[in-house]
Copies of this chain bind each other. A is one copy, B any other.
Amino acid sequence: VGESGTKDAILLAARSRFASCGYDRATVRAIASAAGVDAALVHHFYGTKERLFVAAMRFPVVPSELLSGLARTSRGRVGELLARAVLEPWEDPEVRAPGMGLLRSAVSNDVAAKMLREFVSRAILRPIAETLQAPDAAFRASLVASQIVGVLMTRFVVGIEPIASVAVDDLVVAIGPTLQRYLTGPVRRPG
């Protein structure tokens, strides 16, 4: 079959398994087995389950890389950096096309919605919440998700102007302070 054939078989098995079991319950071992290869080979090609998911679903970023970048940032700049890290990859048409497909499928298909919800919660929202160590950290993380989902939907899927056509830098400046407040500012009525 050759290496590229083996990789294709792994990605195909991964897509099928993530869709049928969701992200949390799918295992690298079961995916390897469905592809007829050893689990060690899957780890060799793709590293972690997270990276296998990113490769199989063409998810636009590797969350753990994005988050380790943020962890090296000063606390006051994390909103702007997160906005940039999320939005810039979409400027590449090869990221944008599958990314839009993922967004569309999360809206129109309950199975895809569950899979993406689990991946986003596990790989992005939970690590963010753990880093924040605040009592309402999960709420804060989901607020961040709401603004990011909204920008991606209006810019790329529904096409609301002028958000659909402004430069990514303008969007980062506008959205960054929102993400910053959701992460580190007040988000509840005092008292």
Interface positions of A (Cβ within 8 A of B): 103-104, 106-108, 113, 116-117, 120-121, 125, 138-139, 142-143, 145-151, 153-155, 157-163, 166, 170, 173-175, 177-178, 181-182, 187-189
Contacts and interface: CB of A to CB of B under 8 A. Distances in A.
Interface majority SS (helix, strand, loop, mixed), chain A:
helix
Contacts of A153: 107, 146, 149-150, 153
Copies of the protein in its oligomer? 2
A188 B188 CA distance: 25
A155 B148 CA distance: 13
Contacts of A107: 103-104, 107-108, 153, 157-158
A188 B160 contact: no
Given A151-B146, A153-B150, A158 B116 contact: yes
A145 B174 CA distance: 13
